[in-house]
Structure 1
Amino acid sequence: MGLDKILAISGKPGLYELAAQSRGGFIVKSIPDGKKMAVNIRHNVSLLSEIAIYTYTEEVPLAEIFEKIKEKEDGGEAINHKSSKAELEKYFAEILPDYDEDRVYASDLKKIFQWYNLLIKNGITDFAINDEEKDTEDKTGEEE
């Protein structure tokens, strides 16, 4: 399962897997405990595959950040999200040296590390763009 089925829901802790769509929103399954629940479309829901981090030159997809953390930690867990702001910033700068410190807040870093560790603990380690998207990107311009 890639990040295209993983959701963060505003006001609700943790991450959720998109299970199905309903008339008024979504049915999601909590990643840590597997409990299902209905989410109204009025909730602020974000797909992890759509989230990007600001750098001074571009926006880097969250999937790339997770891949860089996975490489650094050899597939293990990252720094604890409850670490000090200075420790989180130092660690993140090792992963993404040119991140925009004015637009990426400590709360963002905490979420990134918390989400990464939650996914790793639950066996979700495939953060790469799925093959269909890669094929489409690779073929762009080659077909002419």
Structure 2
Amino acid sequence: MSLEKVLSISGKPGLYKLKTQTRTGFLAESLLDGKTINVSGRHNVSLLSEIAVYTLTEEVPLREVFKKISEKEDGKETISHKASKEELEEFFFGVMPDYDEDRVYASDIKKIVQWYNMLVKNGLNDFSEAKEETKKSEEGTSEKPKEPKKPAAKKAAAPKSTAPKASSAKKGGATKSAASRKT
């Protein structure tokens, strides 16, 4: 399973696998204890595939950071997220030497390390790009372009009456037709 189905839910510890959609939200399974929870629209949810880390030049997707950690650790778990701030920053600098120290805090590094270890422990260590081949094949299919819908035929309007309307009196008391007769 790729990172497109792995979630972080604010206010809830750990990571969650997206199970199924419900009428009011979706069901997610905790990677910590395997319990399934109902997640509604009021929860702040982030897909790991949508998270990026600031560097001095660009934003690097979290998937790429996980790949680099995996390469450094040979696909095994890394240091504990409970290590000291200095140890975590030193480790992260070894993985991402150009990360932006002003915008990436020690708490962010701690969370990244914790998430990486949790994913490896649960066998979710496929940090490759999300099925690019299937996306390209879907784009390359020869579908007929959809024809624009023809506008619905308008109902014929009733012919306007040519009978004169009763005119109302103006401030001067004379109607338009009466004023035109005087001249």
TM-score, reference length from structure 1: 0.90
Taking the aligned partners of 1:124 and 1:78, their CA distance within structure 2 comes to: 15
| 5+ residue gaps, structure 1 | 140-144
Number of aligned residue pairs: 137
Aligned to 1:50: 50
Map of 1:101 onto structure 2:
101
Correspondence for 2:126: 126
Deviations 1:86-143 (A, max 9, x none): 110110011110000000011100100000000111111101112326864xx9xxxx
**What is the CA-CA distance between 1:65 and the residue it aligns to?**
0.4
- CA separation of 1:133/1:61 partners in 2, compared to 1, >3 Å: closer, same or farther? farther
Q: Does 1:8 align with 2:8?
A: yes
Distance 1:118 1:36, change over 3 A: same
TM norm structure 2: 0.72
Q: Quick check: which one's strand share is greater?
A: 1
Distance 1:71 1:27 in 2: 32
1:92 alignment partner, SS class: helix
Distance in 2 between residues matched to 1:79 and 1:41, nearest whole Å: 34
Aligned residue for 2:163? none
**Could you say which structure has the higher helix fraction?**
1
Larger RCO (alpha carbons 8 Å, 6+ apart) = 1
Q: Unaligned regions of 5+ residues in structure 2, if any?
A: 140-183
2:35 matches 1:35: yes
Letter in 2 for 1:94: G
Tell me the distance in 1 between the aligned counterparts of 2:83 and 2:16: 24
Specify the SS of the correspondent of 1:19. Answer: strand
The verdict on how the C-alpha distance between 1:98 and 1:133 changes in structure 2, with shifts beyond 3 A counting, is: farther
Identity in percent = 64
Secondary structure of the 2:63 match is helix
